[in-house]
Structure formats: C-alpha cells, structure tokens
Amino acid sequence: ARCSFCGRRPPAIKRLIAGPGAAYICDTCLQECTDILNDPTPFSPKALELASRPPVVIAAPQKSDLDLPAQRQGPRRSVSLDTEQKRFGMTLMLYEMHFYEHHFEIHYVWIRPPFPTGFAFVPRLIFLMEDDLGTQWSGDKGGTLRTRPELANDPGLAVYQGSARFRPLPAAGSQLLKIRAADPLGQFEEQLLPPWEFEIRL
C-alpha cells in the first residue's frame, strides 16, 4: 500500500490510514489536509499544490463487483451504440456496451471545457438506468475515466474516455434501456444542468 496523495510507501512514512477500496493517506499528508482546513484562505498555496498532484492510486472495486474470469475472457457480447447528445458546450457519446457473465459496462466519451489548473474535483459522470421491466441501476461502480488529449481537435475542449460498470445483468426479456447521465459539477452552475437522456434498444 502507498499514500494516495503523495505516493510514498512504508518505511518512508510513519503511519498509513486505509480508506475505502485502495485509498490510503499518510500522516504527513493528513497533517497537510488539517492545515488546509484550518487555513481561512479559499485557495491556499497548500490546497492548490495538493489538488494539482497527479493521481497516485485508483480505488479498486471490491472482489464481489468483479467477475475476473469473464474479464480475462473478454465480454460475452458487445453492442455498438454510436449515439451522442450535445448541450451546454459539452458532448456525451455512448459508443459501446459490453456484457460479461455477471455484469455489464457502458463505455463513453465526454467532451467538455477543460478544468482550471489546480481544480480539486475528479471529473465523473453518474448514471441512472431503468429497463422496460422496471429494473434499475445507478452510480458508476468499478468505472474508470481517463484524459485523452490526443482525441481533442479543439484547444478549448478536453476529451475524457470512461466506462461505468453495473450488476446484475438485464433480464433476458428486457428490450429497452433508458439511460440518464448527470454531471455532478452541474450542481455548481448558475443554471442547474439537466441530465442527458438516452434510450437503447437491447
């Protein structure tokens, strides 16, 4: 294990506190966080330095949320979606769904204005889905998101490629999947951003 903030491992650090998944924080970084909380400045140099560090540890899904044999063998079925929506200067493209033995994944590309330097929020989309039989899925369990600067053709936009994992699988009789995707940062906008809405035929 290593600190998710600074990347150091024992014995370079004295103490390490474990959090959910694979998240850890060392005593030194914890002290820095305490100093930031006690600093009345909204964006102190310590806060900006901490937020601008590159990611160190990606939280791992619990074993129960992963079907490792299916992952090694690849998906049992893949569906090409090729659907997109544009709004408020952002584009969300759903391009594939993969069905494994016990879970399924949505793969997407999110194009939006880049985040300012030192921004302390990890960009993420939250999904709420319902099929025509009434089964619901929510969240982004086990999902990943990474920056893809090589895909950007506009210097004013950033491209993120992500996936979201859900279980259980849709029932065999399910034919329609309604997908809503929300940008958590939309709650900070002057005008509340409504979620994207898609309908996928299974």
Is the bond preceding 155 in cis, omega lying within 30 degrees of 0?
no
| The predicted structure's pLDDT at residue 55 | 64
d(CA 154, CA 152): 6
How many whole angstroms separate alpha carbon 63 and alpha carbon 140?
16
Please tell me the predicted confidence (pLDDT) of residue 187.
Answer: 62
Confidence at residue 186, expressed as pLDDT on a 0 to 100 scale = 66
pTM for this prediction = 0.61
Which residues contact residue 78 at a Cβ distance below 8 angstroms, ignoring those fewer than 6 apart?
A: 96, 97, 98, 99
pLDDT of 67:
44
How far is 194 from 26, CA to CA, in rounded Å? 39
Identify the pLDDT of residue 51: 76
Contact criterion met (CB below 8 Å) for 163 and 107: yes
pLDDT in tens, the chain (202 residues): 788 888 888 888 889 998 876 788 999 999 999 998 998 877 788 888 877 776 664 444 444 444 444 445 789 999 899 899 988 888 999 999 999 998 999 999 988 887 665 554 556 788 889 999 999 998 765 556 677 777 778 888 888 888 888 889 999 899 999 999 887 766 666 677 788 899 998 8
pLDDT of 95: 93
Residue 113: what pLDDT?
Answer: 83
